[in-house]
Amino acid sequence: MSAPPNRLELRGITKRFPGVLANDRVDLAVRPGEIHALLGENGAGKSTLVKIVYGVLQPDEGEILWEGRRVEIRSPHQARRLGIGMVFQHFTLFEALSVRENIALGLEERYERGELERRIREVSEGYGLPLDPDRDVHTLSVGERQRIEILRCLLQNPRLLVMDEPTSVLTPQEVDRLFATLRRLAAEGCSILYISHKLEEVKALCERATILRGGRVVAVCDPRVETARSMAETMVGAAIREPARPAGRLKRAPRLLVDRLSLEPEDPFGTALRDITFLVRRGEIFGIAGVAGNGQDELLAALSGERPAPKPEMVRIGDARVGRLGPTARRRLGLCVIPEERNGHAAVPELTLTENALLSAHGRLQLLRLGFVRRRAVAAFARRIVERFDVRTPGIEVTAGSLSGGNLQKFVVGREILQNPEVLIAAQPTWGVDAGAAVAIHAALLELAERGTAVLVISQDLDELLALTDRLAVIHAGRLSRSFETRDVEIARIGMLMAGVEEPAPAEAS
């Protein structure tokens, strides 16, 4: 008796881009009903590989077997007809279109309007993923948006579901619910190819893992018997020193104080900030958790000075009341910021690394003289960032946009840290960054706090906050909860606060 054929098998897949060998003779086998993890650093070739599976890209060499038969997948249409569904990391949704239209665009079969609505309701309720087909996408939360992507796949009864980092934007409860859905799908015989940087999740969910490094398969393992650390080391190809869990810091002087900060949103779909109150002490790392869209962007803008606060005393750096000051004045007082969006907010993708180094550092590092740029000093500063923070780049005169996400993030983090800030605010500092770069960034933040800087980390990644912070609070609907000592916080409680189930208690007085 022979075992059933693999649902999907890749043999010797090779894909070249100009100057890069993205996939080098990659073999991968996914069994029926298996949840299979695909791991690797950024740039290891995972995205290229799944794009080949989904027909977005064509391999240069190698063959694809679907249920034992050789196939060529020329387009996403063909992939969907075979029974391959894909949930992208960056959602492929159309903001101005309705849920129903968004789903229809991802389906091969054409439905009558009413029939499609009935199917959407049926499947979404069947899997516990409620959605209203008539809502426009821009009115939905991130978790709801992901449901659209998943439903789009489920409506075609997929036999292989590819998920690219699906949990990076979800609350712990949403993650649990997603996992329940995925386990049920697998039990029904659907195979799942699961891409994630979160190795603990992979351990909890997946039966097998294929690990890529530099475009090649370096290991196939059972994540349930591996440790997160051993898998990370296989991905990176070197031993990783996890940053030590920070010891509780002493009650030192507050450096950043935010006092009853309320601010109406600029954007009609933005979130109003309501009585935000917290403080960050010298040498402390303070975390703000929360699901995207609950006021994080507005809070960052109010702290950085991009949007002035209504009153000067609402934001204080030490004794200085800076609420009405702009970003440059706040930087001079020692407040440096790492915004979430690398391309376009933290850095200008079309400008070179040198120019980007100048943009935020000219005030603190005296990179200007009489209004002229001190080119040599700027170049030296850019080189120092690249060296100290191990930014992998051909040089400092390449554009920021040409760097991979992780490398650009290391550059941005380095640029701010090397300005020796009194207060550093980092939003999503390791968003979409590979394990190696994430460890480096975490280590840099810890070291900075060690030297006495007050560090504020705003992140949706609860694991990151738990590993990094001394205290943390949760932001929901523009209000900040009271703060908790990270050491003895209950994750379930934080999850409830993130979901807005528990009304945040009144904020502590500063």
List contacts with other proteins (CB under 8 A): 17, 55-57, 75-77, 80, 88, 90-97, 101, 104-106, 110, 138, 267-268
For other proteins, give the closer residue by CB, 35 or 160: 160
Minimal distance, residue 105 CB to other proteins, in Å? 5
CA distance 364 to 34: 54
For other proteins, give the closer residue by CB, 76 or 243: 76
For other proteins, give the closer residue by CB, 110 or 251: 110
Minimal distance, residue 80 CB to other proteins, in Å? 8
Minimal distance, residue 91 CB to other proteins, in Å? 7
- Beta strands across the sheet bearing 273-281: 273-281, 254-263, 315-317, 320-321
Q: What type of residue sits at position 93? A: L
216-221 and 208-213 beta bridge pairing:
antiparallel
Q: DSSP states of 98-163 as a string?
A: BHHHHHHHT-SS---HHHHHHHHHHHHHHTT----TTSBGGGS-HHHHHHHHHHHHHTT--SEEEE
For other proteins, give the closer residue by CB, 90 or 369: 90
**Residue 220 in contact with residue 209, Cβ under 8 Å?**
yes
Can you say how many angstroms the Cα of residue 14 is from the centroid of all Cα atoms in its chain? 28
What token pair was written down for 314?
A: 């609402």
CA distance 346 to 455: 17
Minimal distance, residue 54 CB to other proteins, in Å? 8
Minimal distance, residue 101 CB to other proteins, in Å? 6
DSSP state of 431: T
CA distance 273 to 296: 9
For other proteins, give the closer residue by CB, 145 or 330: 145
**Residue 474 in contact with residue 272, Cβ under 8 Å?**
no
Minimal distance, residue 411 CB to other proteins, in Å? 24
Minimal distance, residue 234 CB to other proteins, in Å? 29
Residues 6+ positions from 27 with CB-CB distance below 8 Å: 9, 10, 11, 12, 13, 217
For other proteins, give the closer residue by CB, 90 or 241: 90
Q: DSSP states of 162-215 as a string?
A: EEESTTTT--HHHHHHHHHHHHHHHHTT-EEEEE-S-HHHHHHH-SEEEEEETT
For other proteins, give the closer residue by CB, 168 or 354: 168
Secondary structure (3-state) at 432: coil
Minimal distance, residue 75 CB to other proteins, in Å? 5
For other proteins, give the closer residue by CB, 81 or 249: 81
